[in-house]
Structure 1
């Protein structure tokens, strides 16, 4: 991959947009009712499948639930999804997550994730930002860890991301960045 042509860039972007729209993640649909229903189903799945996560959510200052993220890539990749920020179990804002990536990658997948804001400061920083990008202050955990994340972990990590419910296959190595933006559904 010595040189990226404009035609290759446009083809990759078009394929990513098509796959994202075709996967039924709600791109272009309106209404908070759909997001709320998906968030409720995601919470029920998460708490029933990984019981330790309900305790984690109870100790968190807030939780951003992203019930359906659709990701696709062929060298260029991207993902999109929408979710809700809940504080003490009540929805206070809606957010979108957009990710762009480049690298050796091929495939498509869907998954859910939740961001547990373990300190009031982390939650406040997230809510005040114009668009919050995942960075080094984010700890990723597997669902198996989510069932047993202890007190020491939550005191050290201000934000814990739990990715679960993966379906599909995407393979390769890439550089990516995720941006969370407040939306009005």
Structure 2
């Protein structure tokens, strides 16, 4: 009797699991929704800091993470998915960004991040290494809104320029953090 009861309960659970499958039905290797979000996030950056358009023209690629989520209480974590665009706007690949932090911190927020890769070496390092840990490998400069409005082509000397913008939520504190970026296939 107990065996039949388990079978009766297992069938609806199996049907529910199959109906809730997360397998994408679109073109394999593409994520149009993520691409659209990334293009919109990049346009928001260009609109808020017009000089970034000059940076985009000189960049070999732009890696955009439109929705990065960060949360923590003493120990924190953040993560998001992004798209790398070639100078012509075509998609070069999909990436994930993950980070952990430790320190005096509390709260949660979402933000966008755009990384302008200025050299072929930076792109090659990202694609051939087992993930790219910011702080290891090519030199990365985090640009704030003020610098983004006043930068000129003569001040561009680093391999990667990173912009963090569109913050929503509240995250306060000080901490040590390392970000790892790895390529993935949707």
Whether the TM-score (by the shorter chain) exceeds 0.5 is yes
The TM-score normalised by the length of structure 1 is 0.79
Q: Which runs of 5+ in 1 are unaligned?
A: 1-27
Counterpart in 2 of 1:142? 144
CA-CA distance at 1:147 after TM superposition: 2.5
CA-CA distance at 1:32 after TM superposition: 0.7
Q: Which runs of 5+ in 2 are unaligned?
A: 1-21, 25-29
Residues 90 and 138 of structure 1: CA distance in aligned 2, closer, same or farther (over 3 Å): same
CA-CA distance at 1:184 after TM superposition: 1.2
Alignment of 1:50 with 2:49, yes or no, is yes
Cα-to-partner distance string for 1:33-74 (whole Å, 9 max, x where unaligned): 221110111122112221111110110011101111000000
Q: Contact 2:97–2:179 at 8 Å: present in 1 too?
A: yes
SS at structure 1 position matched to 2:130: coil
Alignment of 1:1-150 (within 5 A): 32-88=31-87, 89-135=89-135, 137-150=139-152
User: How many residue pairs are counted as aligned between the two chains?
Assistant: 157
The structure with the larger Rg is: 2
CA-CA distance at 1:153 after TM superposition: 2.6
Distance in 1 between residues matched to 2:53 and 2:150, nearest whole Å = 11
